[in-house]
Structure 1
């Protein structure tokens, strides 16, 4: 089985959408996505600087829009047997699987980004990546500092979140064998600090229709394949304040016999994780339209 995966926040970079504007219909599609999400996505993806596109309420719609733009341009996507997204990438996965319409996905992710930005403004919080070390020891240290695991990324990478002072204490006295890298994000995503955003998104999600998935789709909650569209949307909502279990998703890919992975734009992060955790499984990162042929070749090989 070949699958498509969709990246999360932090994968964007200044100007990364510029090459995609040469794809037929891209400007019109992005204009529509901008209207639905409430963000000028063409300007954000081609003109705005790193600080401006780091803003949660910009970054989230921008990433999902880029993923869907590249997904629609992907030749042979009918060969994709399953999809998954990392954090906000789950909205792109939901659209690719047919659970949500693109309009619903972009509308909801615009609401999600704004709600999470508002929640992040309530307290001074942040996130750090912890690389290496013994996971049990790291989790014990997090308990001591009242920090929380936010992303279990696999391959020896854990993203943690909480109060800035506690993150600084972790960096000052890291667990043996680890490196602590502060991340340039606005708050403690996927933790209890995001509870207000969950309620906002839940109310909005109640207004959209969910269909049954046309292909396999795995949830960040626990790596399970979900065959009920409404249940997947419920998990999308709850996931705002719960950890991303990408490690369990990758384990599920292995159990399902995944034999190739295509990561949609802005790509690179998830294929990097897969190369460490799913050794021997070919993966293509679709960073620009020039990568579409290689992705199509990978997909066709499993047809």
Structure 2
């Protein structure tokens, strides 16, 4: 089983969309996505600097649009498609589109609402996120609790993302748990924590207007790593996930239980394949960062189908 993985916020870098605009039809598609999400995605992905694309209102639609562009490009090139899909944080919006639960237009409109609502919630209190790599997990969680920080992402492969107020994050970085490295993430809020609860209602209202289809592919939720067969349930979980932890560790464990034979991560790729190489050792993983990576992804699909 080949699994398509869609990354979350923080994976974007300035100019990363430029190579994709060289493909036929991509500029037009991105223009339509821009209208849906109410963000100039072409300018954001080719011209804007790191600070501008760090803005949650921009970053979330930009990442999902890139994922959908690279997903469509692979489907055009390959004779088959991955058997399963999963998304990390906002990547779940792209996963729902890839699985047929939402149309691309619905997905881009929804992620526009999500980005704006989460940015508004983040503006209420200055918060952020730090990746904590290595160390004893119990000791890390105990340290986060003493600082009133939340383990927002359980990423597996020895990585937990802590979220909360900036002073608490600074204290964590200044006095890290033994054996850990603490890396500030380029995000603008404490996502997947209580600080995002004001955003849930706005996203719930937007989701209520949609009529999701049941997934055509095996679809994982990173709320607990289980597979979801109901489109409505998948959409409800996506809404609640805004203020609850991402359990990518459980998602990767479920990949293994389902007999994963390879992972393809879509643009802006790199983070999830890195986690897979450590958490699913020996499993081939292809990061589709630019169109030049599509051939390797198609070859992985072809090998699995043989």
Deviation at 1:166, TM superposition (A): 1.1
Q: Is the 8 A contact 1:188 1:194 kept in 2?
A: yes
- CA deviation vs aligned residue, 1:231-282 (integer Å, no higher than 9, x gap): 0000000000011111111000000001011111111111111000111111
Q: Is the 8 A contact 2:80 2:302 kept in 1?
A: no
Equivalent positions of 1:204-215 (< 5 A) are 204-215=206-217
Give the whole-Å Cα distance in 1 for the aligned partners of 2:79 and 2:147.
45
Deviation at 1:178, TM superposition (A): 1.2
> Any idea what SS the aligned residue of 2:199 has?
helix
Gaps (5+ residues) in structure 1? Answer: none
Equivalent positions of 1:169-248 (< 5 A) are 169-248=171-250
Give the whole-Å Cα distance in 1 for the aligned partners of 2:81 and 2:246.
27
Give the whole-Å Cα distance in 1 for the aligned partners of 2:214 and 2:187.
33
Give the whole-Å Cα distance in 1 for the aligned partners of 2:81 and 2:15.
30
Equivalent positions of 1:104-143 (< 5 A) are 104-143=106-145
* Number of residue pairs aligned between Structure 1 and Structure 2: 303
Match of 2:281 in 1: 279
> Any idea what SS the aligned residue of 1:79 has?
coil
Give the whole-Å Cα distance in 2 for the aligned partners of 1:284 and 1:88.
20
Runs of 4 or more off by more than 4 Å in structure 1?
none
- CA deviation vs aligned residue, 1:8-58 (integer Å, no higher than 9, x gap): 111111111111011111011001100100000001001111110111000
More deviation, 170-179/206-215: 170-179
Q: Is the 8 A contact 2:34 2:41 kept in 1?
A: yes
- Of 79, 83, 86, 2:85 maps to 83
- Of 250, 253, 258, 1:251 maps to 253
Match of 1:34 in 2: 34
Q: Is the 8 A contact 1:7 1:266 kept in 2?
A: yes
Give the whole-Å Cα distance in 2 for the aligned partners of 1:73 and 1:181.
33
> Any idea what SS the aligned residue of 1:4 has?
strand
Gaps (5+ residues) in structure 2? Answer: none
Give the whole-Å Cα distance in 1 for the aligned partners of 2:254 and 2:277.
15
Match of 1:12 in 2: 12
> Any idea what SS the aligned residue of 2:43 has?
helix
Give the whole-Å Cα distance in 2 for the aligned partners of 1:78 and 1:119.
41
Match of 1:56 in 2: 56
**RMSD of aligned alpha carbons:** 0.9
Using the size of structure 2 for normalisation, the TM-score is 0.97
Using the size of structure 1 for normalisation, the TM-score is 0.98
> Any idea what SS the aligned residue of 1:302 has?
helix
More deviation, 176-185/198-207: 176-185
Give the whole-Å Cα distance in 2 for the aligned partners of 1:119 and 1:300.
44
Give the whole-Å Cα distance in 2 for the aligned partners of 1:282 and 1:179.
27
Give the whole-Å Cα distance in 2 for the aligned partners of 1:160 and 1:24.
41
Deviation at 1:61, TM superposition (A): 0.1
